[in-house]
Structure 1
Amino acid sequence: MNQEMNQSTGTPSAQAAPKKNYTTLLVVLLAISVIANIWLMYNRKQVVEQNTFLITENTDLNAAKDTLQGQYDAALARLDELTGKNAELDQMVKDKDGEITKLKSDIKSLLTKRNATVSDLKKAQSLIATLNTKVKTYEERIAELEKENTVLTEGNNRLNQQNDSLSGEAENLRKLGSVLHISNIRMEPINLKKNGEKEVATTKAKKVDILRVVFDIDENRVVNDGPAEIYVIIQGVEGKLLSNAAYGSGVTTDADGNALNYTVVKRINLEKGQRMTNVTVDWKQESAYQKGDYNISFYNNGYKIGSGSVQLK
């Protein structure tokens, strides 16, 4: 009767084992496995792509070889960038018997080996690391040389500027040194008698026919032999310039580039280191001289080199 009651209520008997549903568990485990495999593959790829990675018996040798080849190509590209930047380092890189050439040859031999072993790839990896170290050393050395060159260039520029400045100063000094110096200035108002055959000194304005200026040129050891010009400026009463273009008056410039009106120019032939005495400049004008003070200035190479005055009564 008990058995019938169990059957009618649908309750399993004590002797029957319960059936569990393993589908969900299997799906979860499968998903975990897939995710783990994906992560492991990705992690292995990341490790292989790094500059240094572990090569073991379980390493995908083809992938490792591709990565090493990429690293080697990158090192060669860095070497190419360095070429031409420094002659000394260029020679080190290009030297057939040099260490760089041997490294490149050994690495290429290992990476192109058809059945490269784990040992071969490890050796290639070590050689590539050595190559990268040397490339880094060259890069640092070139950076130092470029910095030194920059410093030298800046120093040379400063020296050139200083030389230009000194040259300019030397030229200015030479120019100043070549400026003539006059002394013993005398002014002699002259009255002409007997149709100009006789000259008589006078101080009376109405009798003056020629205003004569006499001076000496001191010796100059800087100026070269040859022609020189001395500009004479005569200012009469109230500072009025005595001038007449027909008698040689004109305009020049002073050392500052300003216009300088002159009465007459005296052209002379100099001898280096020789003194010239009694250099004479005569000024004759058509109009009569007025009573008063007459000031005379002398210019050479734009610089004032002397002055004097005379009074006419």
Structure 2
Amino acid sequence: MSASNYPSASSQSQPPKKDNRGIIYGVLIAALLGTWGYIIYDKSKTKEVIQQKDVQYASLDSVRNQLLTDYQAAEIRLDKMTSENTKLDSLVKTRDKDVTSMRSRIKTLINKQNASAADLSEARKLINQLNGKIEEYVLEIERLQGENTQLTADKQQLTTEKQQLTDTLNTKLTENKELSSQVDVGSTLNAANFHIAAINEKKSGKESETSRAKRADKFRVSFDVENRLSLTGTKDLYVIVTNPEGQVVKEDGLGSGSVTTREDGDKEFTNKVSIDYEQGKRKNVSFDLKQTDKYKPGTYKVEVYQNGFKIGEGAVTLKKGGIFG
């Protein structure tokens, strides 16, 4: 049997080829499933992150809204206090100028779009500081109101005390005025032993009393004064001489003028005589009155005033005729 009739050894020894497509398909399917799974997982995670972000944004928005409400309440409270208390408004403007910048910064942070948690945290801190300032102002207002109440009470007390002192002073002034008036009236000199005489002056210088008008050259007035209340010092006496015709004798040489009396009003006087008086002692007063015109027959009346009161008066009558009349 020839070799060609038998199969070759090489063809008999090679195994048949395997089909790997199933494995490849399986790997591809597994890879595809893995990819889909990752995509689904990643999408789920992304959705979760988005949900978390939404929750975070919602939370931040809620915080911002609350901060805005708190700030508006603080601002309204501050504006209300400053409008009702002019002193506080001045205090805010002069002592706490940073309040304005603080309020401006809070507005900026709250109104900022996409404000971060850090922004809102800063806003919260500033709002707390602002509320702290407001509490300081409240305490300041209470202190000022307390001081004002005390000042009002003190002023009322001082007003009452002042009125009481004024009333007391007026009473004392009235009493003193009355007392002074009484002392003043009581200190008026008392005149006694009033005497008036017509005097004839001779060329030799000898003097004698006369009752004749033609011989009369002057009047001599004398009296005693005394008062224990009248203080030591100069006393002015106003002498009024009335002639027989009822007219006051007035001459420039005698220093005639007008004097105000307490009971009879203003009166014209003939002469003013000043005397030195020592308290508690009796003093004799004597002075002469000499007119330029000749004396006329009739009665001459002489009145003496001191301290506005008439303290004495007298009269002398001159007759007509002379040595042979």
When the two structures are superposed, what TM-score results if normalisation uses the length of structure 2?
0.55
The 8 Å contact of residues 254 and 303 in structure 1, kept in 2 or not, is answered as: no
Matches of residues 216-255 of structure 1 in structure 2 within 5 Å?
216-225=224-233, 227-246=234-253, 248-255=254-261
Match of 1:200 in 2: 208
Match of 1:152 in 2: 161
Richer in helix (by share): 2
Match of 2:60 in 1: none
Matches of residues 1-313 of structure 1 in structure 2 within 5 Å?
60-70=69-79, 73=82, 77-78=86-87, 114-116=123-125, 135-193=144-202, 195-225=203-233, 227-246=234-253, 248-255=254-261, 259-277=266-284, 279-313=285-319
Q: 1:260 to 1:114 in 2, by over 3 A?
A: same
- How much does 1:79 deviate? 5.9
CA–CA distance in 2 between the matches of 1:80 and 1:159?
44
Match of 1:34 in 2: none
Larger radius of gyration: 2
The 8 Å contact of residues 235 and 277 in structure 2, kept in 1 or not, is answered as: yes
Q: 1:285 to 1:253 in 2, by over 3 A?
A: closer
The 8 Å contact of residues 181 and 217 in structure 1, kept in 2 or not, is answered as: yes
- How much does 1:253 deviate? 1.8
Question: Percent identity, aligned pairs only?
Answer: 23
CA–CA distance in 2 between the matches of 1:128 and 1:249?
81
Q: 1:269 to 1:129 in 2, by over 3 A?
A: closer
- How much does 1:237 deviate? 0.8
- How much does 1:60 deviate? 1.6
Give 3-state SS (helix, strand or coil) of 1:237's partner. coil
Q: 1:196 to 1:230 in 2, by over 3 A?
A: farther
Give 3-state SS (helix, strand or coil) of 1:207's partner. coil
- How much does 1:232 deviate? 1.3
The 8 Å contact of residues 254 and 301 in structure 1, kept in 2 or not, is answered as: no
> Counterpart of 1:142 in structure 2: which amino acid?
L
CA–CA distance in 2 between the matches of 1:70 and 1:143?
27
Q: 1:250 to 1:65 in 2, by over 3 A?
A: same
Give 3-state SS (helix, strand or coil) of 2:214's partner. helix
| Structure 1 unmatched ranges of 5 or more | 1-56, 83-103, 105-110
- How much does 1:218 deviate? 0.9
Give 3-state SS (helix, strand or coil) of 1:65's partner. helix
The 8 Å contact of residues 242 and 248 in structure 2, kept in 1 or not, is answered as: yes
Query: What's the CA shift string for 1:219-258, capped at 9, x where partnerless?
Result: 4443233x33212111121312233323x14103214695
Q: 1:77 to 1:197 in 2, by over 3 A?
A: closer
Query: What's the CA shift string for 1:167-202, capped at 9, x where partnerless?
Result: 544544454344322211011223344x25433333
Q: 1:132 to 1:231 in 2, by over 3 A?
A: closer
> Counterpart of 1:147 in structure 2: which amino acid?
Q
Q: 1:240 to 1:300 in 2, by over 3 A?
A: same
The 8 Å contact of residues 295 and 307 in structure 1, kept in 2 or not, is answered as: yes
Q: 1:80 to 1:211 in 2, by over 3 A?
A: farther
CA–CA distance in 2 between the matches of 1:300 and 1:206?
32
CA–CA distance in 1 between the matches of 2:124 and 2:211?
123
The 8 Å contact of residues 75 and 131 in structure 1, kept in 2 or not, is answered as: no
The 8 Å contact of residues 177 and 223 in structure 1, kept in 2 or not, is answered as: no
- How much does 1:69 deviate? 3.5
Q: 1:116 to 1:234 in 2, by over 3 A?
A: same
When the two structures are superposed, what TM-score results if normalisation uses the length of structure 1?
0.56
